[in-house]
Structures are given as C-alpha cells and as structure tokens.
Amino acid sequence: MNHFQYINGELHAEDIPLARIAEAVGTPFYCYSTATLERHYKVFAEAFADQQATICYALKANANLGVIRTFADLGSGADVVSEGELRKALAGGIPADKIVFSGVGKTRSELAYALDCGIMQLNVESLPELEALSEIAVSKGVTADIAIRINPDVDARTHEKISTGKSENKFGINASQAPAAFARAAELPGVNPVSVAVHIGSQLTDLEPFRIAFERVAALVGELRGLGHDIKRVDLGGGLGIPYREEKIPLPIDYAAVVKSAVGNLGCRLMFEPGRMLVGNAGILVSRVIYVKQGGTRRFVIVDAAMNDLMRPAMYDAWHEIKPLKQPENGVAMEPADVVGPACESSDTFARQRPLPPVRDGDLMAIFTAGAYGAVMASTYNARLLAPEVLVRGPEWSVVRPRPSYDEMLRDESLASWQGGG
C-alpha cells in the first residue's frame, strides 16, 4: 500500500498535489510519503510484537536523513554497510546500541570507527576480518559483540544480481565452516561471538527459501551451543519482497509465521534488517515529458529523468508502474510507448511498449515504487545534477536533499596542479 492517489483528477502525495511540488523544486525529483513509511514499519513490527525482536532498517535501500529519522522516531535500529552509512544512521537519530554493521569488505578504519561508536553488533563475514577486528579491538581495550554471517547455500529464487545466500556468492562463511569460525572467535581476545547472521537475498516473493535458511540457522545454533558457545541472538537479515506490478507477495505476518516456526524456540533475540519492504512503495520519481517522438516503428516518450536518477530498469530490467500526474479520462485509448531518458545510452529506458494514455510535451509523469534503490544509487553520469528528494507528511512537505547547482558540481573538481589549477 502507498499514499500516492488521484484526488480530483490530480495525483497527490498524501494531501499534497505533486504538481505543486514540481512547480517549486523542478523535475525530476523524488518524493517520499511519511504515512507509507510509518505504516510499513508498524505492520512489520506488529508481526513480531510477541517476540524479543530488534528491527534494524537497512540504509542501503534509502539513506536519506529524513527517511532515517522517520524510522528512528518509531524506535528502529539500523543496518549499515559502510562508515558513511554508519555516520548517516547516527546523524538521523539511530542510537549506536541499535546499529548492526554488515558487509563483506569492511576496512580496518571502518572497524575502528564502529568500535569507537560502541555499536550493537558487527557481522563478521570472513576469518581475515575476524582476525583484523580482534587486533583492532585489543588495541582499543574493548570487546565487541559479533555475529558470524553464514552462507547457507540457499537459492533465493530472485534476480541473480541480488542473490546473496548461494555458495558462489561473495557473502558470509560457508555453513560447514561455521563451527571452526566460532571456535576461532572464542579463542581471540576483543571479540564476543554471540550471534549467527544470515541474509539470502533481496526481493524474495516466496517464503520457502526463508524457511530452509532459517531452519539451517536453528540447527547451527543447536550445534554451536552443544560446543559450548553462548548464542544469544540470531540475525535473519531482510529480503522480503514488495509488489512492483501484480506479484503476489507474502505479508509480514506470513513471514513472521515462518520465522517463529523455524527459530522461535531458540530463546534468542531475533534481529531483522528490512530495507526495500519499508521504503520501496513509499517513494516515487516525478519527471516531466520533454518530447514525444514518433520513430519508425515506436512512439518514444522522452522524459527529463534518466538512468542516472533511477538505475533499476537499466541494471535489473526492473518494471516500474508509470502514471501521468493528471488522471486520464475514463475510456481513453491507451497506446504503446517506450518511456526513455536523455542519457546517451540505449539502456536509459524506463519502460518498453508500455500502454499509456496520450501525453504531450510538458506533461508530468510519476514512476512508482522508486523509494528503494532509487536516489541512493543515483550518479552524475553525463554531468547531470542529482535529483532532489522531498518528504511529505499530510499537508506538509519539505526538501530533505536539495538539487545541487552546476556551480556546486564544478566546485567538487579542479584542474591538475600543472594545468593552472593550483
């Protein structure tokens, strides 16, 4: 569910006509709905209200400070994968003792900063990382609570570029090697292995891979306890999918039933790292039609948003619903069109042969389900300015990241010293 609806023929974000925002900030721009963010978080949290559970929002899906603060105000923790995300989580109001640091390639400086911050848990993904973390923690005179992330070799049946739980993926330690990894962690000073972590991928629309992975986690916890390890938490990651078109998606309560069946009797605190599920449908990208071009065999609707603003269609062949901001009249004829951006790439295409109502130069259009992996993956390819981000709450709206100016973009670079750039 989202809070982007037609009211009196105009597409609104909650109580605000999106055309009003477009007039004020220009296009393209991202818009996020506070009501949708809050609803999705509460639905997920309520599914685990009868458990000892910690929800750590995965910043990689959307790291806007306004979005982070919205979840912080609801009591959320954070899952981060870089020092930058850790700093953003703290700046957004997430307490350090609710932050988990994941990621396969944490640098020594990142590990040191996380220890200085006193975060809740570091998810270790390799033996070299374990050794480095121990060394750094000892040098600082601290002991860090850690999870060891296992790779359960489970096919998540999702896009190959967002699968993380198969043996050929780079993430985690092979489950068969986990006992040895925990044994080594127990020997090392400065680390306290208290948790098993797993995350098998993103945009899962089937609960069966979750069930298989979580049952393997439960079996491993039993084995580790038998070997004398005091496992207090299980970190089950994220990955629950969202509807981009007509997919049948499991509800959080159905996901919770699988979790409770697999690991609910372990007596462990449960940790979750939802990202896309919380923010995906809470955001849209608003763009303006530059030209409507009739090609030899296709109609092209050329908009001012491009693949640098929303990478998902080019990278994953992802499908996003596209609607005009002015509601089409009932019975209007729909005609196929390719919706494309101005970047100099054929892959800069948001939709191919999509049935659309008649549109003209200057019309405004919304690309839906753009709240996850949208602005956070944006670039300045073709020297295009980053799109601003707007947060709406009821009748209020605020720019939570402005569009930079061309002068600001140029100030980030300089000529080489021998080119007169000083």
- Which residues are marked as active site? 344
**DSSP 8-state class, residue 245:** S
CA distances from 68 to 131, 342, 404 (A): 32, 31, 21
**Residue 47 class from Cβ within 10 Å (0-12 exposed, 13-18 middle, 19+ buried)?**
buried
C-alpha span between 259 and 240 (Å, rounded): 12
C-alpha span between 56 and 115 (Å, rounded): 18
C-alpha span between 84 and 376 (Å, rounded): 12
Tokens encoding 173: 């330690």
DSSP assignment of 253-312: HHHHHHHHHHHTTS-PEEEE---HHHHGGGEEEEEEEEEEEE-SS-EEEEES--TTT--H
> Closest Cα partner for 321 from 362, 354, 360?
354
Helix (H) or strand (E) holding 112: helix 108-117
C-alpha span between 317 and 413 (Å, rounded): 33
